[in-house]
Amino acid sequence: MSNFDFYNIKDIRAEEKRLYEEYKNKVSELKKVKKEKDAVGQVFTKGLLPIYVLYILSLKPTNGNEISTQIGIRTNGKWIPSTGGIYPLLKKLEKEQLILGAWDDPNKKFQKIYHLTPKGKVEYENKKKLLKPKIEESLEVFKIIYNDIY
For 30-43, how does the pLDDT look when each residue is reduced to its tens digit (9 = 90+)?
Answer: 777 666 555 444 44
Give mean pLDDT, residues 87-107.
91
| 4 pLDDT more than 70 | no
Burial (0-12, 13-18, 19+ Cβ within 10 Å), 127: middle
Q: Cite the DSSP H helix spans in the chain.
A: 3-42, 49-59, 64-74, 83-95, 118-149
Q: pTM of the full predicted structure?
A: 0.66
Q: What one-character DSSP code corresponds to residue 113?
A: E
Beta strand 112-116 with 99-103: parallel, antiparallel or unpaired? Answer: antiparallel
Number of domains in the chain: 1
CA distance 42 to 48: 9
Q: What phi and psi, each to the nearest 5 degrees, are found at residue 81?
A: -65, 145
Query: What CATH number is attached to the domain comprising 139?
Result: 1.10.10.10
Of 17 and 1, the structure prediction assigns the larger pLDDT to: 17
Residue 38 lies in domain: 3-149
What are the tens digits of pLDDT across the range 59-90? 999 999 999 999 999 999 988 888 888 999 99
